[in-house]
Every structure is written in structure tokens, then in C-alpha cells.
Structure 1
């Protein structure tokens, strides 16, 4: 009985992994869009967000946020306003 329950949870976990990556990406782009809007930038519709591993450091993440009207580079420190740079 316990093996069957363990198998069922394991199966659901593995099936959910591809969707969780998409969900995390969607959450990052919507979170970044909300943050830059709160700082006075316009992001009509968030189309995607990609983490810039080259510019990111410990406790400082850099993301490229694509919106329908512009593209932004967003640098984020914990508990501080983001550094926003308009790329296009």
C-alpha cells in the first residue's frame, strides 16, 4: 500500500516538473513587470524574462524583461528598489 502511494506521488512530481519551470518563468516575468511598473516604467504586457547569468552575482540578480512596448535590464538586490535600464 505504501509503495503504491509513494509511486503515485513520485509520478505526479515527475509529471509536474516541466510545467513547474514554465510556471516559475511566468512568475518571474510577472513579478519583474510589477516591480518596474511600481518604479514608474511602462510594461504594457510582459512577454518574457531571462536571467542574465553573466551579470548576476550572489545577492544581485540581473534579468532581461521583454514587454510589448520595451525591453528592460533589471538588476535586483534583496529588499531594495531595482536598477532598471531601458535596452529597446
Structure 2
């Protein structure tokens, strides 16, 4: 946000102070302020949407990973970590989808081992 505000202030400074294309007054200052507020609202909304899309849960990442590996997970219902089977650097999850349940074993930098459960 600060970068966007700074990028807006530079042209305003050039137009009003350096190049003196427009005289600074009540009307021109109000218009410049409204344009700046509009720009901040638009870019603020865009960055908020990007931040929300970046909030992925481990469950949704597991579902995406098994889909990439060719397994069907229509709708993710939840995932629970299997603490008995998990080890350091080897997490085991039970992933529940609307159509199936899977045991997913993950190790760093490797494809997941996926076992369909009955």
C-alpha cells in the first residue's frame, strides 16, 4: 500500500509543484485527494483478494496433491493427521472426500503415497 501511495504522490508532486501544470487550490486538491483515495481503494481490494486466496489450509493442499496424482476428491470434507503413523519428516493424514477416504503419507520433496480406504 505504501508503494502505491508513493507512486501516486510522485506524479501529483510533479503536476502541482515541479511542472506547475495545475495551480494548487481547494478544487484541484480535492480532486487529487479523491483520485488518490479511489486508487487506494481499488488496489487495496485487489491485494485483499490476493491475500485471501493465499490462505490455503493443509487439508486443501493435500486434496490438491492427490488430485494432481490422479485420485478423485470431488469435495473435501476434512483431514485428520494420523499421529501414530506419522514420524518426523513423514506426515500421515486421513483425508475424507465426498466420494472416498484416503490415507496420504507425505515426505519432503517426494510425491505423496496415497492409499484408498474402504
Please confirm whether the aligned pair reaches a TM-score higher than 0.5, indicating the same fold. yes
Q: Which runs of 5+ in 1 are unaligned?
A: 1-23
Residue 34 (1) aligns with residue 81 (2):
no
Deviations 1:68-87 (A, max 9, x none): 00000000000100000000
User: CA–CA distance in 1 between the matches of 2:60 and 2:80?
Assistant: 12
Q: Highest CA radius of gyration, 1 or 2?
A: 2
Larger RCO: Structure 1 or Structure 2 (Cα < 8 Å, ≥ 6 residues apart)? 1
Structure 1 residue 29 displacement after superposition: 1.2
- Runs (4+) of structure 1 exceeding 4 A deviation are none
Write 1 or 2 for the structure with the bigger share of strand: 1
User: CA–CA distance in 1 between the matches of 2:73 and 2:66?
Assistant: 8
Q: Which runs of 5+ in 2 are unaligned?
A: 1-54
Deviates more, 1:63-72 or 1:26-35: 26-35
Write 1 or 2 for the structure with the bigger share of helix: 2
Superposition TM-score, scaled by structure 1 size:
0.70
Superposition TM-score, scaled by structure 2 size:
0.52
Match of 1:75 in 2: 105
How many residue pairs were aligned? 64
Identify which of 77, 80, 92 aligns with 1:47. Answer: 77
Structure 1 residue 56 displacement after superposition: 0.1
RMSD: 1.4
Give the secondary structure class of the aligned counterpart of 1:80: coil
